[in-house]
Amino acid sequence: MEKIKNTFLEHKTPLMFVLPAVIFFTLFKIFPILNLFWLSIHQVDKDIGDFIGFKNYLKLIHDQVFWLSLKNTTIIVILVVFFGTIFGYLAALLLTEDFKGQKLFRILIFIPVVTTVSIIAVVWKMMYYPANSGMLNSLLAYFNIPAQQWLADPKLALYALTVPLIWRIIGYNMMIFIAALKGVDKNQLEAAQVEGANWWQKLIYIIIPATKYAINMVLILAVLRTYKVFVPAYVMTSGDPQHKTETIATWIYKQSFRYWDMSYGAALAVVLFLIIMVLTIFQKKFQSE
């Protein structure tokens, strides 16, 4: 005990600086997670009810909509991570070169990142308007292509929902990659140029390996952010048609605040938390090898 006391007194000043962050993290991160798990094993109506154990988790196993929402969310994550990373990297490669209008193009690509998600969802919903007055259908009509039910067709809705998510994340990824590309050793590029390496060879053997840490970070952040996707799905489709655009987050919201099954909604949220935690651990382990 005396040793602990002496250690505390010795590091008193740095501990005082860390204390506010520890308190904040405990109150707004750790406690809500523990409370969420506690709610998931109790019957919650207007008041906290009886202990029901893992009944909600057994119910989840037989919930077909949950499995469909998990599938939908995974497809969205794969598409957003893949296309968002590729297009973000290409944009960074193009916009690290000095040319007239470079800053303007950077701003234009980055604007969606600082725009409210709900506004983006509303704008894209208007663009997807099913009649010929919708922007996308107007373009199709110009080429004599029939109008599409972008958000009402079960075959198109999920992919139509994913497009604005990719569009928004490109600017975010681009800025991370631009910062990473500025750290690439110019001497290596010049040496490769002297040796006769073309642009593609320099990209594969020098630029990409030098920015690998940024690519890893982008992949991790994209997975974490996209698995929690809620606002675009809820605003644009609310999970319809036929739950074809239902995400885990929208299903949690519906169970908790539309059907007022708070305990089951908490169980779904716990599962989402565990999925994200496992994916994060797996990504970090895989990328450290």
* 136-151 per-position pLDDT tens digit: 988 888 888 888 899 9
C-alpha 214/C-alpha 179 separation (Å) is: 9
Do the Cβ atoms of 177 and 96 come closer than 8 Å?
A: no
The model scores a pTM over 0.75: yes
**Does residue 76 form part of some domain?**
yes
* 59-78 per-position pLDDT tens digit: 999 999 999 999 999 999 99
Kindly report the CATH number assigned to the domain that includes residue 202.
Answer: 1.10.3720.10
- 269 and 239 together in one domain: yes
Residue 189, pLDDT score: 86
C-alpha 171/C-alpha 164 separation (Å) is: 12
Q: How far is CA 247 from CA 81, 96, 231, 243, in A?
A: 16, 36, 10, 9
**Does residue 174 form part of some domain?**
yes
- 232 and 276 together in one domain: yes
The total number of residues shown for the chain amounts to 289
The per-residue pLDDT of the chain, averaged, comes to 88
Q: Which domain holds residue 26?
A: 1-35
**Does residue 47 form part of some domain?**
no
**Does residue 245 form part of some domain?**
yes
- 249 and 181 together in one domain: yes
- 151 and 195 together in one domain: yes
Kindly report which listed range (73-77, 224-228, 246-250) carries the lowest average pLDDT score: 224-228
Rg (CA), the chain: 24
- 210 and 113 together in one domain: yes
Mean pLDDT of 99-109: 90
pLDDT above 70: residue 94: yes
**Does residue 214 form part of some domain?**
yes
C-alpha 109/C-alpha 95 separation (Å) is: 10
**Does residue 248 form part of some domain?**
yes
Q: What is the 3-state secondary structure (H, E, C) of the chain?
A: CHHHHHHHHHCHHHHHHHHHHHHHHHHHHHHHHHHHHHHHCEEECCCEEEECCCHHHHHHHCCHHHHHHHHHHHHHHHHHHHHHHHHHHHHHHHHCCCCCCHHHHHHHHHHHHHCCHHHHHHHHHHHCCCCCCCHHHHHHHHCCCCCCCCCCCCCCHHHHHHHHHHHHHHHHHHHHHHHHHCCCCHHHHHHHHHCCCCHHHHHHHHHHHHCHHHHHHHHHHHHHHHHCCCHHHHHHCCCCCCCCCCCHHHHHHHHHHHCCCHHHHHHHHHHHHHHHHHHHHHHHHHHHC
**Does residue 44 form part of some domain?**
no
- 255 and 129 together in one domain: yes
- 108 and 8 together in one domain: no
* 153-177 per-position pLDDT tens digit: 999 999 999 999 999 999 999 999 9
- 86 and 130 together in one domain: yes
**H helix count then E strand count, the chain:** 16, 2
- 97 and 3 together in one domain: no
Mean pLDDT of 104-116: 93
- 5 and 87 together in one domain: no
**Does residue 256 form part of some domain?**
yes
Instruction: Count structural domains, the chain.
Output: 2
- 1 and 120 together in one domain: no
- 64 and 11 together in one domain: no
C-alpha 193/C-alpha 181 separation (Å) is: 17
Kindly report which listed range (41-50, 137-146, 206-215, 218-227) carries the lowest average pLDDT score: 41-50
